[in-house]
Amino acid sequence: MKADALTSQVHQFWNKASCDTHIAAADKFTKSYFEEIETYRYYDQPFIHKFAQFSRYRGKEVLEIGFGAGTDFIQWLRAGAVATGIDLTEEALANLQARIQVYGLPEPRQLVVGSAENLPFPNASFDLVYSFGVLHHCADTQRALGEAVRVLRPGGQLKIMLYNRHSILALNTWVKHALAKGQPWKSLAWCLWNHVESTGTKGYTKKEIINMLGDFGISRIAIDTEVTSADTLAAQAVPPLNAFFRLLIYLAGVSYPWQRSFYDRGAGARITSSAVNSTGGSALGFFHCISGVKK
């Protein structure tokens, strides 16, 4: 499928409803509507605050790529960041503009409808580029990553979430759409592309992510892979299968990124300039929460 056609399909999918808005029962764009969305998001994904660290960016220039319904974006405004946002859809922009008005929040620096693959911002414009669960939907994810790094200032931070191809959710999708249909040769990548959210969804291994970001000049890469409700409840309609998946998650365990060398005398000075990469979390979680620094 050509990139333009794929981008059009992705736009059409997310323009119907921004992420998480499907759970709201209240009238659209009311305060109750936004409260329901925010409550759901941080109950379902409680690790977002730990990952984003919103309050650390007061007075800093922040770009969020793919703000969706704006739940994370308004945290930047509440924290006093100088926030700019871009999203592919008009629906997302309408959600965010209404949300800012409902809560009486400060006006952002700029809100744009556009593509992550062609960011309309000058080089080295932002202290932080943040994108949670968006870039794996782009027709050309590598180009979008390159754009994110381009607009990041040297020494600035990149924080993104990309899906894990080797997750329990991906495995369950393969069981449902490949194995159960007599097509076990179908790959996990094929299942994500065709059966998870918008057409063209991708997932990555930690090694692939480190290689991609390293090519773009990102160092000190940290990847925490988070188990989500989508993993633990992946096969809830089939209790024995769901129990098996939970056992796999348990056996995969959690690996910690701490390295003894970091705690040696003088490590604090060395760590700021070295390309130390670390990975943690559960290997079978669906969300790779990735951070790094532009050299």
Q: Can you give the pLDDT at residue 109?
A: 97
User: pLDDT for 57-95, tens place per residue?
Assistant: 999 999 999 999 999 999 999 999 999 999 999 999 999
Q: What integer pLDDT is reported at residue 3 of this predicted model?
A: 87
- CA dist., res. 135 & res. 40, Å (int): 22
pTM here? Answer: 0.94
Handedness of CA 156, 161, 167, 173 (dihedral sign): negative
pLDDT tens digit sequence for 2-30: 889 999 999 999 999 999 999 999 999 99
What is the tens place of the pLDDT at every residue in 149-168? 999 999 999 999 999 999 99
Note the pLDDT of residue 259: 67
Q: Which residues are CB-contacts of 38 (< 8 A; sequence separation ≥ 6)?
A: 71
Each domain of the chain, given as residue ranges in start order, spans: 3-294
Fold classification of 3-294 is Rossmann fold (3.40.50)
Query: Does pLDDT of 173 surpass 90?
Result: yes
Q: What is the pLDDT of residue 262?
A: 61
Alpha carbon of residue 224 to chain centroid = 12
